[in-house]
Structure 1
């Protein structure tokens, strides 16, 4: 396991603030109360561990397959439905949405290998990730990847009520490889995947996914 570079400043700042708070408590605030000092140290350690674990990247054997669509994120499948995708395709698509809690790994991975044909960032609100309007009103990015046979897959990173920053590493015209990082969402949110209607869905509502590992769909030939 390693730690993601996006967490360096946050982890360092959190560690320094907690250290300063504990030193202040030890020498001034609770200098005569050992119980309070110990409790504060325990709470500080738990908080620091929670922040660090958020930026973890576990070692995994990634799944690869030309016709397979791999989960772009760790989390729970909360939506599988046919819907109108009005931003890019402007027609009906099969949507699969994965919700990431603050306890999930938050690296976002390319679900397919191909060329980025479209990218756009939208500033917006921070509604809870399961709110019906979060996919159109929250801060978000849209990425469209075209695979070798011309099929296109759309990904949408959506910030939630806690997540306040979306990171992306792709741009239009860039070739991307299945399983490589395409972005990061800090402190929880959602990733939507829009697929052709004849794609075969391989997951169910409530299923837990592992980014880069779980096969969520098979694309048509």
Structure 2
């Protein structure tokens, strides 16, 4: 089995394994605890390969449960005046926390905002919590916004993107450590194929099919 975890997880995994090896002969209970902790780090930072639809559709930027869908203006930092369909995805500590690009295009802006650490399942987390807001312009000039939001336990948002960078749908762009939320803002003309309470798979679950592609059968392992 191929061991694949996000780069951010290696320091936690290796440190806990080394400590468990050192302590196990002298303090077995502590050593066993550290071994369990090592497995927990691997599980949290796991980075599975996904089958990404290559047709002209929008995919989920994160694993997790849809906690709300509503109409909303874009975050003020985006400087966009139109309304969007806002989909909020809550990631608990058992979900994969690697984030993926929902649509191909170019990064137009990245805005990091320091903030609080309310429970990420609450609506106020979108505006009050630490967050990183990314705007991508698709090939048809539509603006797609997605926001990495730190949660009650999460204390660090990792984003590997840069302004004007070309991005490919389904590729990894970051991670939010230990419980979090991702908000996705789509133009109101985009149809939504998901519902509140649904569990999504990052890079795989189709959130919108704006061009009504009939046969969605092209996928790529990413």
Mapped to 1, the partners of 2:124 and 2:135 lie a distance apart of: 21
Stretches of structure 1 lacking an aligned partner (at least 5 in a row)? 26-36
Is residue 84 from structure 1 mapped to residue 86 from structure 2 by the alignment?
Answer: no
Stretches of structure 2 lacking an aligned partner (at least 5 in a row)? 213-222
Offset of residue 41 of structure 1? 4.8
Deviation digits for residues 113-154 of structure 1 (CA, Å, limit 9, x no counterpart):
001111111111111102222111211111011111111100
Is residue 12 from structure 1 mapped to residue 14 from structure 2 by the alignment?
Answer: yes
| Structure 1 ranges of 4+ moved more than 4 A | 39-42
Mapped to 2, the partners of 1:192 and 1:148 lie a distance apart of: 21
Structure of higher CA gyration radius: 1
Mapped to 2, the partners of 1:183 and 1:104 lie a distance apart of: 15
Offset of residue 17 of structure 1? 3.2
Deviation digits for residues 175-210 of structure 1 (CA, Å, limit 9, x no counterpart):
111111111111120110001112100111111111
Mapped to 1, the partners of 2:23 and 2:81 lie a distance apart of: 53
Task: Report how many aligned residue pairs link the two structures.
Answer: 208
Offset of residue 220 of structure 1? 5.6
Mapped to 2, the partners of 1:119 and 1:206 lie a distance apart of: 29
The aligned residue for residue 157 of structure 1 is 148
The aligned residue for residue 202 of structure 1 is 193
Is residue 52 from structure 1 mapped to residue 42 from structure 2 by the alignment?
Answer: yes
Instruction: Specify whether residues 22 and 90 from structure 1 end up closer, same or farther in structure 2 by C-alpha distance, changes over 3 A only.
Output: farther
**Pairwise CA RMSD of aligned residues?**
1.7
TM-score (norm 2): 0.87
Mapped to 2, the partners of 1:186 and 1:64 lie a distance apart of: 28
Q: Give the one of 48, 63, 69 matched to 2:53.
A: 63
The aligned residue for residue 72 of structure 1 is 61
What does 1:140-155 align with in structure 2 at a 5 Å threshold?
A: 140-155=131-146
